[in-house]
Structure 1
Amino acid sequence: MQTLLLDGDAVDAHAETAAVIRAVEAAFAAAARDRAQMPAKSYVDLPQYNGDFRSMPAYLDTGEWDAAGLKWVNVHPDNPADHGLPTVLGTMIYSDPETAYPLAILDGASLTTKRTGAAAAVATDYLAVEDATSLGIVGAGVQSYTQLEAISEARSIEEVVVSDLDEARVTAFLERFGDEFDVREGSITEAGHCDVLSTVTPVDEPIVSLADVTGHTHVNAIGADAPGKHELADDLLEMATLVIDDYEQCTHSGEINVPWSRGVLEEADIHAEIGAVVVGEAAGRTPETGVTVFDSTGLAIQDVATAHVVYERALESGDGVPFDFFGGT
């Protein structure tokens, strides 16, 4: 057997958006049906380097296919300025569950952006109004691109409003999508008054309040991925129908982690995990539903599901660099 080495370009090429969305949805369903194993994300904090590592292993069985893997990922904010490297690097090891053979080693950063967009698309499909045509995005970094690409698979998005303090990033976003959508720069309030809003910032002081959204806006809260991060004001979280991706991760390091630690939010304020909504154990949007929020921390099962899509497509096309990992086995 051989192991495929798949770089960022290969991941981008083979992580076809609709296929990744289906795989991530299947992963959420597998978790809800107790057909997945996902130990808690572990952190290695490195304050001396202003960074950290995160270890994310998982196994899932969708009933049609099963898969296992481990993502080793980091966040080092000083990398671009000090070392000419991305803030987030990552390596995904995708393994055969039956033999444990490493089938592929993939670029984890590209994988992360693809599966994060897919998770938002799944949540949008179940929680946004059916006739949603507008998308607001707060934060025009790397994640914003896959938010639009994926969410436009779930709803017929026509208008896009992007808000960011960095004009260069806004300009790049407008240039990328200007031919496909009616896309413009706007304030946070203008973005929040869209049918769907995705927040993809690293802030630790809330920047979106209840007044910034409409009575039916669905919010994908993507940015919070560590304790202390907090994009949405407490009044918005308290009012919304709140759906989370994973109880342990969200209460520890998701969008709700700060109000949860202060006792502002409690068990009764959480509507459901997204997997329960996918399999019908909890309701999605109904005619009575107002503002909805999806707290997305990013799950290892999403990484494994996306790696499955990428590996199978790369294998079929003959892409990637094969090598004999164990020397003749």
Structure 2
Amino acid sequence: MKPEKTLLLSQSDVASLLAMEAAVAAVEAAFAAHGRGEAAMPPKVYLGLPAHDGDLRAMPAYADGAAGVKWVNSHPKNPARFGLPSVMGLYILSDPATAVPLAVMDATRLTAVRTGAAAAIASKHLAGPNPRTLGFIGCGVQARFLVDAHRAVYGDRLEVLTADVSREASERFAAESGGRAVSVEEASGCDILCTSTPARAPVVQRAWVLPGAHINAMGADAPGKQELDPGILRDARVIIDDWHQATESGEINVPLHAGVLRREHIQGTLGEVVAGKLNGRGDAAITVFDSTGLAIQDVALARVIYAAARERGAGTAFDFFG
């Protein structure tokens, strides 16, 4: 039997097929499956490219009848050097029964959407009951998806405060989001704080974080990266997305290896919280979600995108085996 043709889906196809509300629902379900132990997700593989100031990553996963792999990079100097995005990706969604590639799709937007969705889901489960302010440190592309995802969960009731090493970037994002550009210290005092920087030294100090805060630490996704003063982690209820990834490349990786934070201080995973196996905020004064990005989030969204493409007749059919 000849394999069916593969759908090729561009970034514009993905954008038209994937609404943030659907993404949040799919990623939340993926976290729950992860928390119940119902998904297969081998550790993320890093291919370091120090000569090019970047790396490539392979992220395979199987969940809820869908299987696939993402090939994605992180090259922070791409925008300045080449006018290219820092993060670009390609996703291959396969039929788990036959291994036929069902779709090959842009994963650049997929990655940004699922990362935003993960943060909003963490805020939903870990933030205080009535947050009023939403702060951003790092006002690049990812911040746009973080604010969209939080609005999918909270509506428009959160005041947005923006901060960045580039005042111009902060003011531009504030204008786009209807927010206000402020100092890093003021943004750090928000009820919900999202950090999405490539920092390798803390940019948020413990003294700036107020009781009742929830922090989504999204930027640390490789060994040596760090955005938060370790004192914040020591005083917080810390929830991670995955034990292997977070301890090796997440926000907790530097303080753990330096011995200033102990593994026993980590409460568990967001999947366990979403699945109801672990308390979320509890009576903690501060909560932190350490996000490294999970392959199960990617396969969940790839499945949604593929189903929508089939329903709407989107994409280009290509015969790889012809």
Q: TM-score, normalised by structure 1?
A: 0.93
Q: CA distance change for structure 1 residues 82 and 289 in 2, over 3 Å: closer, same or farther?
A: closer
State the alpha-carbon separation in 2 of the partners of residues 163 and 213 from structure 1. 15
Give SS of 2:66's match.
Answer: strand
User: Corresponding residue for 1:184?
Assistant: 180
1:1-329 mapped onto 2 (5 Å cutoff)? 1-61=4-64, 66-156=65-155, 157-178=157-178, 183-286=179-282, 288-327=283-322
Counting aligned pairs with the same residue, the percent is 49
Bigger drift between 223-232 and 206-215 goes to 206-215
State the alpha-carbon separation in 2 of the partners of residues 259 and 280 from structure 1. 28
| Deviation of 1:170 (Å) | 2.1
Whether the 8 Å CA contact 2:160–2:174 is kept in 1: the answer is no
Whether the 8 Å CA contact 2:30–2:297 is kept in 1: the answer is yes
Q: CA distance change for structure 1 residues 190 and 78 in 2, over 3 Å: closer, same or farther?
A: closer
Report the AA paired with residue 257 of structure 1.
N
Gap runs ≥5 in structure 2: none
| Deviation of 1:325 (Å) | 2.1
Whether the 8 Å CA contact 1:121–1:150 is kept in 2: the answer is yes
- CA offset digits 1:202-222 (Å, max 9, x no partner): 001101122111101100000
State the alpha-carbon separation in 1 of the partners of residues 273 and 296 from structure 2. 17
State the alpha-carbon separation in 1 of the partners of residues 5 and 169 from structure 2. 40
**Alignment coverage as a number of residue pairs:** 318
Give SS of 2:201's match.
Answer: coil
Report the AA paired with residue 168 of structure 1.
E
| Deviation of 1:171 (Å) | 3.2
- CA offset digits 1:106-143 (Å, max 9, x no partner): 11111110000010111111001121132000000010
| Deviation of 1:96 (Å) | 1.4
Give SS of 2:119's match.
Answer: helix
Gap runs ≥5 in structure 1: none
Whether the 8 Å CA contact 1:130–1:155 is kept in 2: the answer is no
Whether the 8 Å CA contact 1:133–1:155 is kept in 2: the answer is no
Report the AA paired with residue 260 of structure 2.
V
State the alpha-carbon separation in 1 of the partners of residues 235 and 114 from structure 2. 28
Give SS of 2:59's match.
Answer: strand
Report the AA paired with residue 33 of structure 1.
R
Report the AA paired with residue 10 of structure 1.
D
